Structure 1
Amino acid sequence: MTVLVTGAAGFIGAYVCRALRARGEHVVGLDNWNDYYDPRLKRDRVAALCPDLRIAALDLTDRAGLDALFDELAPSRVVHLAAQAGVRYSLHNPHAYADSNLTGFLNLLEACRHRGIAHLVYASSSSVYGAGAVPPFREDARIDRPLSLYAATKVANEAMAYSYAHLYGLRCTGLRFFTVYGPWGRPDMAPLLFSRAVLAGRPIEVFNHGRMRRDFTHIDDIVAGVLGALDHPSTDTPPHRVFNLGNHTPVELERFIAVIEQAAGRPAQKLYRPMQAGDMPETMADTAAAQAAFGFEPRTAIEDGLPPVVAWCRDYFGDRV
């Protein structure tokens, strides 16, 4: 039986594919290889983590192509990680989010329900909590006040999946990821942005004057959560559940930078800035539901997880840091 992983060349996707294959699953990937960030990093990531994985080059907005791929593969389960990511990018390129995160997700839901997919696990985001969220964020908190279009599309994804679970009995599980980091990570996120800048001696922009806390979650913990969720589809009526996947230990931004400085062996040049539009000052996951459902237990502290990221940046980017 085949597991189809969308966004397979992405950061979380490539690691998930590797983990699924390591436990003996037959995995096929899908990715559109877009240039939101350098496609060379995506190709190098795949070559390093799952070099002989088949990845179909396809955009989710291609409904006919997606239907044909489902008919060819007849997957039993789908892990949907493809999306247009990034809070700040959504301020400037909103249509990319409507195309990928709304139209693309609808096409995927339709393909799943018409072919009797046993379980769809899909990526949501901690960004759904939005204005007025009180840490620790619980899955039953209101999510009707998103602070960015990106967050709004993820709120919409959860509502869309719920409706398909209700109407058609499609088993769906949404995962709200909290600031995932690790080697081969996304270059537009703080762990790589800061690591590369400090290594190169470039200044870093520290928003909200450093008064930020983030629930940084290591990729190994996220992958364990994705596989745990995949193995435990909902038996509720309707069969739809949402879980936080976070570290449950928010870290002050200044402490986060200090760990990078120590690993890089040099101080950061900090440019303090006001809060950016669309950002949240603090994130913190309540992970009790995921722990109860499938034993989710994040284990990686930033003191252990960040130094390998800095070392990877030094090795991979070299004089391009």
Structure 2
Amino acid sequence: MFSIVTGGAGFIGSHLVDTLVEQGDRVLVLDSLRTGDLANIRGHLDAGRIDYLQADLLEDGWQERFEGAERVYHLAADPDVRGSAATPADVYENNVTATIRVLEAMRVHGVGEIVFTSTSTVYGEASVIPTPEDYSPMEPISVYAASKLAAEAMISSYAHTYGMKARVFRFANIIGERSNHGVIWDFAHKLKENPAELEILGDGKQIKSYLIVSECVAALLHAVRAADGPFACFNIGSEDWIDVTAIARIVADEMGLPDVRFRYTGGDRGWVGDVPRMQLAVEKIGATGWHTTVGSEESVRQAARALVREIC
């Protein structure tokens, strides 16, 4: 299969590329390198196993490369939930306008299938936890979440209007090797700078679901094969959750810092747009035959261990 991966040099994207190459796909990676890193896919590039084009989806010159592709994995996005409040127009352009441009390139060049990585934050502060895919009302509380929900809507409209197949995945917190943002990354870098004290945003009682990236990619590819119809949406996450203070303890432990002091900024959330309680219902993807054996705590420990190897 000829697959295109936008954002394929990024964190989740590069792990997806690893698996696509392993299963024998012909892969073209499109990435602006705004948040991605060529080092993540360097081995495939040097070995000639993939094609790569540095491209900003808001500019032109990449669309003709969609000719002959069978599936687009659209992962390119501005992933900064916290930062989205400061630059809402930029987030809209990078997450919504760019998605429409990908859909248009698909329509023009006859690409029949799109796989889109969305987010648990589209649910807002859900009153039902674990939160299922059919939860309503959908009331995002961050600009980032709103941009992802808008992109989902456009993808659904193209699938039904132009006969495409669309598979949308709402992720819990996906963590692991090559990540360059998030709470584990933040804690590890803070502790590297000051091993004696760690600032924790909020009260440390925020509880969320985490999943190691290898499990996320396996779930996504399984559901892509199993799904039917023009549009299908699946949650991907673990079946439990962990609080922020527990994450801090794990990161400190992996860094060999058992006596670090925690200092909390206060409040029930870390930043504007932060959802303090999140766990996704995963029965729908479970019904297709996929189940994770890795929970939030083990995912956090594996991710922290990998990050410590990278930065220390």
Q: Fold match, TM over 0.5? A: yes
TM-score computed with the length of structure 1 as normaliser? 0.88
Shift of 1:177: 0.9
Query: How far apart in 2 are the matches of 1:204 and 1:50?
Result: 39
Shift of 1:48: 5.7
**Alignment match of 2:263 (pick from 261, 271, 295):** 271
Equivalence for 1:60: 57
Which shifted more, 150-159 or 95-104?
Answer: 95-104
Query: How far apart in 1 are the matches of 2:282 and 2:223?
Result: 13
Query: How far apart in 2 are the matches of 1:199 and 1:8?
Result: 29
Query: How far apart in 2 are the matches of 1:143 and 1:30?
Result: 34
Percent identity between matched residues is 28
Query: How far apart in 2 are the matches of 1:133 and 1:86?
Result: 24
On the 8 A contact 2:215/2:292 being kept in 1, the answer is yes
For 1:250-299, what per-residue CA distance to the aligned partner results, in whole angstroms no more than 9, with x for missing partners?
11222222222222221343221222210001110111111113x22122
Name the CA shift for 1:159/1:13 in 2 (closer, same or farther; >3 Å): same
For 1:131-183, what per-residue CA distance to the aligned partner results, in whole angstroms no more than 9, with x for missing partners?
34421010001253111110001110111111112211211011001111011
Q: How does 1:142-157 map to 2 (within 5 A)?
A: 142-157=136-151
Query: How far apart in 2 are the matches of 1:202 and 1:22?
Result: 43
Structure whose residues are more often helix by fraction: 1
On the 8 A contact 1:16/1:226 being kept in 2, the answer is no
Equivalence for 1:5: 5
Shift of 1:117: 2.1
Name the CA shift for 1:55/1:225 in 2 (closer, same or farther; >3 Å): same
Equivalence for 2:93: 99
Equivalence for 2:311: 317
Equivalence for 2:185: 192
Is 1:259 aligned with 2:250?
Answer: yes
Query: How far apart in 1 are the matches of 2:301 and 2:44?
Result: 19
On the 8 A contact 2:209/2:241 being kept in 1, the answer is yes
Q: Which residue type is aligned with residue 288 of structure 1?
A: E
| Runs of at least 5 residues in structure 2 that lack an aligned partner in the other structure | none
What SS does the aligned partner of 2:116 have? strand
Q: How does 1:172-187 map to 2 (within 5 A)?
A: 172-186=166-180
Q: Which residue type is aligned with residue 193 of structure 1?
A: D
| Superposition CA RMSD, Å | 2.0
Shift of 1:230: 2.6
Q: How does 1:82-161 map to 2 (within 5 A)?
A: 82-161=76-155
On the 8 A contact 2:5/2:75 being kept in 1, the answer is yes
Query: How far apart in 2 are the matches of 1:59 and 1:116?
Result: 21
Equivalence for 1:33: 33
Query: How far apart in 1 are the matches of 2:300 and 2:126?
Result: 30
Query: How far apart in 2 are the matches of 1:140 and 1:168?
Result: 24
Which shifted more, 107-116 or 218-227?
Answer: 107-116
Name the CA shift for 1:166/1:15 in 2 (closer, same or farther; >3 Å): same
Q: Which residue type is aligned with residue 15 of structure 2?
A: Y
Query: How far apart in 2 are the matches of 1:75 and 1:22?
Result: 18
Q: Which residue type is aligned with residue 14 of structure 1?
A: S
Shift of 1:66: 3.0
Q: How does 1:294-305 map to 2 (within 5 A)?
A: 295-305=289-299
Query: How far apart in 2 are the matches of 1:49 and 1:177?
Result: 26
Is 1:171 aligned with 2:162?
Answer: no
Q: Which residue type is aligned with residue 153 of structure 2?
A: A
Query: How far apart in 2 are the matches of 1:270 and 1:139?
Result: 36
Query: How far apart in 1 are the matches of 2:77 and 2:44?
Result: 20
On the 8 A contact 1:173/1:234 being kept in 2, the answer is no
Q: Which residue type is aligned with residue 69 of structure 1?
A: R
On the 8 A contact 2:209/2:237 being kept in 1, the answer is yes
Shift of 1:191: 1.4
What SS does the aligned partner of 2:287 have? helix
On the 8 A contact 2:175/2:210 being kept in 1, the answer is yes
What SS does the aligned partner of 2:202 have? helix
Query: How far apart in 2 are the matches of 1:69 and 1:213?
Result: 42
TM-score computed with the length of structure 2 as normaliser? 0.91
Query: How far apart in 1 are the matches of 2:184 and 2:105?
Result: 35
Query: How far apart in 2 are the matches of 1:312 and 1:92?
Result: 31
